[in-house]
Amino acid sequence: MAAPIDMGSMAHPHVAVGLIGAGQDQWLAPRFHIDAVRAACASCELLRDMKNAGHGSLFSPWPASLARSLTPLLVDPPGFARGELPAVYGEITAFFARNLLAPPSPMWDRVLGQMWHRLPSWRISVKVASGAVPSAPGAAGV
């Protein structure tokens, strides 16, 4: 069964769309879901194609007592390596940072500088995979 997405709406999305492929997903079979989205959306960014991942593989691992009672659709399929997840989470974070954080600007520096002088106990420094958002003038990063 395909996910209820109008593929025509994916031709020119108004926002950045990042995708993670789960090749062993039995809940949303890739050929009906992510493959269809990728075919419709040239601007969508494939962040990672995880060939051995299942539908629930990006979640924290289920406790063993619960995993035994869950459907095979949610637990990790054989061959899935959880060791790659920190890198995947980093790629997702970098995607959000690239597409959601405001780029540094003179106005950002001015506003942040005013905040800094009003609340001197603040120490602001946001570091992301793509670089660092500038901190207030003279600020020490935390």
| Tokens coding 92 | 């997702």
Grouping H, G, I as helix, E, B as strand and the rest as coil, residue 107 is helix
Alpha helix ranges (H) inside 26-63? 34-40
The residues pairing with 48 across neighbouring beta strands, listed in sequence order, are 20
99 vs 78: CA distance, rounded Å = 34
Please check whether residue 26 lies inside any domain of the structure.
yes
Instruction: Give the mean pLDDT of 50-73.
Output: 86
pLDDT of residue 142: 38
- If asked whether residues 108 and 96 sit together in one domain, one would say no
For residues 46 and 61, is the Cβ–Cβ distance under 8 A?
A: no
The tens digit of pLDDT for each residue in 7-57 reads 899 999 988 999 999 999 988 889 989 999 999 999 999 999 999 999 989
* One-letter amino acid of 127: K
Q: Note whether residue 78 is domain-resident.
A: yes
Domain count, the chain: 2
For residue 136, pLDDT over 50 is answered with no
pLDDT band at 95 (very low <50, low <70, confident <90, very high): very high
Flag whether the pTM goes above 0.75: no
* 16 lies in the same domain as 51: yes
Whether 30 and 74 share a structural domain: yes
**Residue 1 domain flag:** no
- Same domain, yes or no, for 24 and 92? yes
* Whether residue 94 is found in the same domain as residue 109: no
pLDDT grade, residue 88 (50/70/90)? Answer: very high
Q: Are residues 69 and 12 in the same domain?
A: yes
Residue 108: domain span: 103-142
Residues 84 and 118 in one domain: no
